[in-house]
Structure 1
Amino acid sequence: MPSSKKKGFDSLFALVSWQLWKERNARVFRGAESQPAELLRRIQKEGED
C-alpha cells in the first residue's frame, strides 16, 4: 500500500475509533444514545475539519 494511502487509512481508523470511544462514554456516563446515522455524520464532519 502506498504510504499516502496508508496514512489516510491510519487517520480514518483513528478518527472512527475516537468517535466510537466518545459514543461509548456518552452511553455509559450520561445515558445518551445516538443513532448510527448521527454517529456517521459526526465522523464525517470531524474528518472534514
Structure 2
Amino acid sequence: MLDQKSVTAWLDLRNKAAHGKYSEYTKEQVEVMCQGVVNFMARNSV
C-alpha cells in the first residue's frame, strides 16, 4: 500500500512538471521522488 501511495504521488509530481506547473513543487520534492524511484526499482528488480 505504501508503494501505491508513493507511485501516485510521483505521478502527480510528474504531471505538474509535464504541464509547466513549476511553482507547485520544489526541487527537494523532485530529489525525494528520484531517490524513491531508484529505491523502488532496486526492491522490485528481478
Query: Which TM class, normalised by the smaller chain length?
Result: 0.3 to 0.5
Normalising by the residue count of structure 1, what TM-score does the alignment of the two structures yield?
0.45
Rg (Cα) greater in structure: 1
